[in-house]
Amino acid sequence: MINGQGLDTSQAARSTPPPPPADPADLAPAVLAATAGRIAARTEAMELENWFWGEGVALQGLLRLATATSSPPPPFVTAFIDRHLRAGLEVGHVNNLAPGAACADLYGLTGEPRYADGCARLHAWLRREGSVTRDPRGAIEHWPGGVWADTAYMAGVFLIRYGVRTGRPDLVTEAGEQLLAHAEILQHPDTGLYAHGSHAGRTIWCFWGRANAWSALAAVEYLEATPDGPTAARVRHTLRRQLLALADHQPAHGVWDVLVDGQPENRGIPETSAAAGIAAAMFRAAALGIAPDRLRPAAWRALAGIHPYVAPDGTLTRTSAGTILQLVPFGYSVIRDDLIQPWGQGLALQAYAAALGSSVPHRAQ
């Protein structure tokens, strides 16, 4: 179906309407905890094997839920990290840094040197000449010639958790510098929304939902670790602009389209992992005093919207598959979303964990 502007709206026309959202009044703590428990059990049952980005997001979600429920680290997380440390970490891309955030948190929780050693090996790879390329502003490129929002989370959250857990403020500072370098390239100067990435030095202005989730979550992670100072003030400003813009574009049922700005080729195609990540970021930003009167209701609306998408077995449905940078908006409308994905599970856990602790700011210890 080609409209009068030459846009292909065929996929949008076929999209299943979203289910009615839950009543936020029904999302009592016991319901949140029970739902999160199902999501966690399903995540562990996926038998995750690879030291890669999706696994890293899932591990972080499991640890955040444990913190929110005052539980010890899940044995699944410890076993996963230990198994890979014994086998030797193979790192060849910034996405391989993502599980390092969980490794750093295990070090902070246990004091076991092997976890600090694992993080040191990951950081040594990042520091090694030729491991990554950087754009002229210093932003780590996801692939040579392209800066993606994904990197702000995969590398940035590792640096923050490693820095916090080992008393290395220089690593947290490095993450903050990366956030600002990415914002210069990816945050739209007028709308405040984030593009997915750049290609050959040119920003592709497709406002992909999960890109906005990655950027926002990395920013709140940084601000929780470093709330003061000039870099924090700039990160706070970019985050506030972004989250308020997302609140302005949020549909009544709570779950943003795969491109969050209502682009016609993607209009009405909801994507749940982005909504979960954005909800988590909004809850945590509100706890930091960032526009709480706007962001907390938007976060609850997003959580109410994704709640019906949690299947009885704990699968977050309608999570899009791994998505490379698309050069045209239509590309995002055809990404499959019919399989369970570890990043969907992990972001859902972050959303429910943030809701459980929404009245108290998370402070890194």
pLDDT digits over 85-131, tens only? 999 998 999 999 999 999 999 999 999 999 999 999 999 999 999 99
> Is residue 207 in a domain?
yes
> Is residue 16 in a domain?
no
Per-residue pLDDT at 143: 96
Per the CB < 8 A criterion, the answer to whether 214 and 98 are in contact is: no
pLDDT digits over 233-282, tens only? 999 999 999 999 999 999 999 999 999 999 999 999 999 999 999 999 99
d(CA 61, CA 349): 5
d(CA 215, CA 184): 12
pLDDT digits over 310-320, tens only? 999 999 999 99
pLDDT digits over 33-48, tens only? 999 999 999 999 998 9
> Is residue 9 in a domain?
no
Q: How many domains does the chain have?
A: 1
Per-residue pLDDT at 6: 77
pLDDT digits over 282-330, tens only? 999 999 999 999 999 999 999 999 999 999 999 999 999 999 999 999 9
> Is residue 176 in a domain?
yes
Strand 197-199 versus strand 202-204 pairing type: antiparallel
Q: What is the mean pLDDT of residues 215-237?
A: 98
d(CA 293, CA 42): 34
> Is residue 284 in a domain?
yes
Structural domain for 222, as ranges: 28-356
- The residue count for the chain: 365
Per-residue pLDDT at 365: 27
Band (358; pLDDT cuts 50, 70, 90): confident
pLDDT digits over 44-61, tens only? 999 899 999 999 999 999
Q: DSSP of 48-95, one letter per residue?
A: ---SSHHHHHHHHHHHHHHHHTT-PPPHHHHHHHHHHHHH-----SGG
Per-residue pLDDT at 357: 84
Find the helix or strand (DSSP H, E) in which 278 lies: helix 272-287
pTM metric for this prediction? 0.96
DSSP 28: -
> Is residue 77 in a domain?
yes
pLDDT > 70: percent of the chain: 97
Per the CB < 8 A criterion, the answer to whether 239 and 316 are in contact is: no
> Is residue 122 in a domain?
yes
Q: Which residues fall within 8 angstroms of residue 257, CB to CB, at 6 or more apart?
A: 209, 251, 263, 266, 267, 268, 269, 270, 271
Find the helix or strand (DSSP H, E) in which 203 lies: strand 202-204
> Is residue 364 in a domain?
no
pLDDT digits over 166-220, tens only? 999 999 999 999 999 999 999 999 999 999 999 999 999 999 999 999 999 999 9
Whether 2 has a pLDDT exceeding 80, the answer reads no
CATH number for 342:
1.50.10.10
Token couple for 19: 């289910």
Per-residue pLDDT at 111: 98
